[in-house]
Amino acid sequence: MASEAKKSNSLWETIKTVVYALLMAGLFRSLLFQPFWIPSGSMKDTLLIGDFLFVNKMAYGYSYASCPSVIIPRFGINVDAEDICGFLKKDNKRLFGGDPERGDVVVFRHPVTGRDYIKRLIGLPGDRVQVKDSVIYLNDVAVQIEPAGTFEEIMEPQGPFGNRPRCSNGAVGDGALCEKERRYETLPNGVKYSTLNIGDQSLDNTPVFTVPDGHFFFMGDNRDNSTDSRVRQVRGGVGFVPYEDLIGRADRIVFSSSGRSVLFFWTWRSDRYFKAIE
The answer to whether the beta carbons of residues 241 and 216 sit under 8 Å apart is: yes
32-260 sits in which CATH class?
mainly beta
Average of pLDDT values for 172-184? Answer: 93
Percent of the chain predicted with pLDDT > 70: 86
**Residues tagged active-site:** 42, 119
More confident residue, 174 or 69: 174
The full set of domain ranges for the chain reads 1-31, 32-260
More confident residue, 171 or 257: 257
CA distances, 214 to each of 14, 17, 147 (Å): 47, 42, 34
CA distance 274 to 76: 33
Residue 128 has pLDDT above 60, yes or no: yes
Q: Which has the minimum average pLDDT: 85-89, 149-153, 175-179?
A: 85-89
Alpha helices in the chain (DSSP H): 2-31, 81-85
Mean pLDDT over the full length of the chain: 87
Average of pLDDT values for 71-90? Answer: 76
Strand stretches in the chain, DSSP E: 33-37, 51-56, 70-72, 77-79, 105-109, 116-123, 128-132, 135-138, 141-142, 144-154, 177-186, 192-197, 209-210, 215-219, 241-242, 246-256
pLDDT at 26: 45
Residue 202 has pLDDT above 90, yes or no: no
Q: What is the pLDDT of residues 3-51, one digit of tens each?
A: 555 545 555 555 545 444 444 444 444 457 788 899 999 999 999 999 9
Q: What is the pLDDT of residues 260-269, one digit of tens each?
A: 887 888 999 9
Please give the radius of gyration of the chain, using alpha carbons only, rounded to the nearest integer: 21
More confident residue, 273 or 16: 273
Give the count of alpha carbons within 13 A of 42, CB side only: 17
Q: Which residues contact 247 (CB under 8 A, 6 or more apart)?
A: 34, 55, 57, 65, 66, 106, 107, 108, 109, 116
pLDDT at 17: 52
pLDDT at 179: 95
Quick one: pLDDT band at residue 246, thresholds 50, 70, 90? very high
More confident residue, 188 or 260: 188
Q: Which has the minimum average pLDDT: 6-15, 183-192, 250-259?
A: 6-15
